[in-house]
Structure 1
Amino acid sequence: MPVEGQARQQQGPVPARRRGLHALLQRRSAIAFLMTVPLLVVMVGLVAYPTGFAIWLSMLDRTTTRFVGLANFALLLDSSRFWGIVWQTCLFAFAAVALKAFLGFVAAHFVHNLPARGQRKWRGMLLVPWVIPAAMSVLAWRLLFEPSFGALNWILEQVGLPRILWLGETGWARLSVILVTVWFGAPFFMVMYLASLKSVPAELYEAASIDGATWWQRIRYVTLPMMRNIIAITMIFSLIGSFAGFTIVNVLTNGGPLGATQVLGTSAFLVGIIGGNLPMGAAISLFMVPVLAAAAILVLRGVVRRGSDS
């Protein structure tokens, strides 16, 4: 009996300590939540209010005095010109994201395989396009594309090729917009992929080499499976930015020639601000929401499934 009494005395304080620790944790979580309330209020004010106001504005007429419901969206869906702008936006976004992902992956492997001292130098140089403000870099590209004295046409003349109206012909103008978008965004992919490559255990590559795997098999069965989550996240992030892109198209081509490079962002600005039809401009900008939401859900669902499988 004395032994059992001593055991009970020793075990008695433990539940009380657990209850006290649990209460402390609950109190800390409550304090942490209260400390985040100001930030949540700011986020709601900066995101929820403009979104709600844009939705309300898109349901008004041109004079913003009469409620018309979904009439503005119905006009857009019946417009062949609007569907052409949607197609161009999808073309620019998906083509640019695919090229940025590929070039960023190649550049990340190139920098990753360099010695540690050389990595800093190359990483700094390859980050320059991403660091320079977009408006300044696009102006420089516009000078390169200039048909009379631009550097690109001068190089073509030196090799015996004819001059190209880079920003004056439909096909070349679209290609120029995609090229500048890739040049500006590929360094972001490189940085993300390089950080992901650093986290891949070297033992996996050594085991694959011992098993006789080629470089492509090592990339396919080791590198890509370990990087698939970061690849998916960077692609959806870049896709959202490409869909909502405005600066590159507005500065480089201003939607020309004849609207061949018009995207949803520049169209919303042209209709809403320049044309003075704010409700229709809001409706055009809101059209991007369901498309991007569907793409984000598909990609993020794949990321969650991969995380749960692993």
Structure 2
Amino acid sequence: MATATEQAQAARREPPVRPGARRRLSDREGALAWTFMLPSVIYIIALVALPFGLAIAFAVSDVSAGDPSYDYVGMLNFERAFDDPVFWRSLGNTLIFTGISMVLIVLLGKVLANILVANFKGKWLVRFLVLLPWTTPVALSSISWLWLLDSIYSPIDWVLRLFGFLGPNDNMYWLGEPNLAMGSIIAVHVWRLTPLAAVIMIAGLVAIPKDIDEAARVDGAGYWRRMFEITIPMVLPVVAVSALFGAIFTFTDMAVVRVLTRGGPNDSTQVLASWAFYRGIEGGDVAQGAAVALFLFPLLLAAAIAILRVVRRIEVG
């Protein structure tokens, strides 16, 4: 058995290991961090930064589908947008569409989240039915609503006639009247995004410690008092996050408008995203479409900053 002196002599004979000489990639924190961040960086550059840069370049040019040559024209496209009454109508519709949709999405999402966290028989079926609007492709679901809101063969009108709310030969013309068309678009959009808000809020409801709710029950707090004094204050940051995601999807969404009304009647349901598409893609005026689309950026940025500040104040408070 080797003595302590012999072990010390053997250790001195072995060559010293230099620090970092044989460090693997998994041991290099700096290189590992960049390795994990690289896919996200590539994604942001390829699908966000480059298109945004191209939009800015097109917005200050005269590029069109008929003449793809690039000529710098400065702020001419923005001046043309300001002189276009449809642009201002689209801007107003975007604000109305987003504001009403966000209020309804947050409220209905909170209600659905409370239902989905409760324990009852058949909860899996209810969850499946609730999530179905979000998982269904937007084009398919919008086409289904296009049939449901048909001016002549609408099943909704048939139900209203059955209960006496409409005359035998009356129709609502859901997509033919400006106010009804805007209301229909908002309703379909809320129907699509409410499940997403509910799923996000479920995470906040599940994270609430059960001992707080049990202590409130012991103190005699009823359902509504616990809701407004415990549940809602503790899930407000999550509610703000769901509102932020909903605002992003609502600001940039044009699928529902395109499938249901195509901006009609008489451009009464145009939003900035749809108007930019019709001017830039279908109309062939790429530069003008890019200029209109760029107005989405400051509006969305302002909404995101406002919501994130609210979240920060809630967390600090």
What TM-score do you get using the length of structure 1 for normalisation?
0.87
The answer for the alignment partner of 1:65 in structure 2 is 70
The answer for the alignment partner of 1:44 in structure 2 is 45
1:90 partner letter = L
Q: Give the deviation of 1:118 after TM superposition.
A: 3.3
Which 5+ residue runs of structure 2 have no aligned equivalent? 1-18
1:174 partner letter = M
Q: Give the deviation of 1:27 after TM superposition.
A: 6.3
The one of 99, 108, 117 aligned to 2:113: 108
Q: Give the deviation of 1:25 after TM superposition.
A: 12
Q: Give the deviation of 1:75 after TM superposition.
A: 2.2
Q: Give the deviation of 1:125 after TM superposition.
A: 1.6
Distance (Å, rounded) in 2 between the aligned partners of 1:227 and 1:242 = 22
The answer for the alignment partner of 1:272 in structure 2 is 280
User: Residues 164, 42 of structure 1: CA spacing in aligned structure 2 closer, same or farther, 3 A cutoff?
Assistant: closer
Q: Give the deviation of 1:308 after TM superposition.
A: 3.4
Distance (Å, rounded) in 2 between the aligned partners of 1:26 and 1:98 = 47
**Which of the two has greater helix per residue?**
1
| Deviation digits for residues 137-188 of structure 1 (CA, Å, limit 9, x no counterpart) | 1111111111222100101111122220000101110110011001111111
User: Residues 96-135 of structure 1: matches in 2 within 5 Å?
Assistant: 96-115=101-120, 118-135=122-139
User: Residues 124, 42 of structure 1: CA spacing in aligned structure 2 closer, same or farther, 3 A cutoff?
Assistant: closer
User: Residues 149-168 of structure 1: matches in 2 within 5 Å?
Assistant: 149-162=153-166, 163-168=171-176
Which 5+ residue runs of structure 1 have no aligned equivalent? 1-18
1:212 partner letter = G
The answer for the alignment partner of 1:292 in structure 2 is 300
The answer for the alignment partner of 1:9 in structure 2 is none
8 Å contact 2:26–2:32 — kept in the other structure?
no
User: Residues 43, 114 of structure 1: CA spacing in aligned structure 2 closer, same or farther, 3 A cutoff?
Assistant: same
Q: Percent identity?
A: 35
Distance (Å, rounded) in 1 between the aligned partners of 2:53 and 2:260 = 32
- How many pairs align? 288
The answer for the alignment partner of 2:233 in structure 1 is 225
Distance (Å, rounded) in 2 between the aligned partners of 1:82 and 1:46 = 26
The answer for the alignment partner of 1:205 in structure 2 is 213
SS of equivalent to 2:122:
helix
Q: C-alpha root-mean-square deviation of aligned residues, in Å?
A: 2.1
The answer for the alignment partner of 1:95 in structure 2 is 100
Distance (Å, rounded) in 1 between the aligned partners of 2:78 and 2:286 = 13
Q: Give the deviation of 1:192 after TM superposition.
A: 1.3
The answer for the alignment partner of 1:56 in structure 2 is 57
2:191 partner letter = W
8 Å contact 2:25–2:32 — kept in the other structure?
no
User: Residues 307, 256 of structure 1: CA spacing in aligned structure 2 closer, same or farther, 3 A cutoff?
Assistant: same
8 Å contact 2:86–2:267 — kept in the other structure?
no
The answer for the alignment partner of 1:142 in structure 2 is 146
Q: Does 1:249 align with 2:257?
A: yes
Query: Which range moved further: 184-193 or 36-45?
Result: 36-45
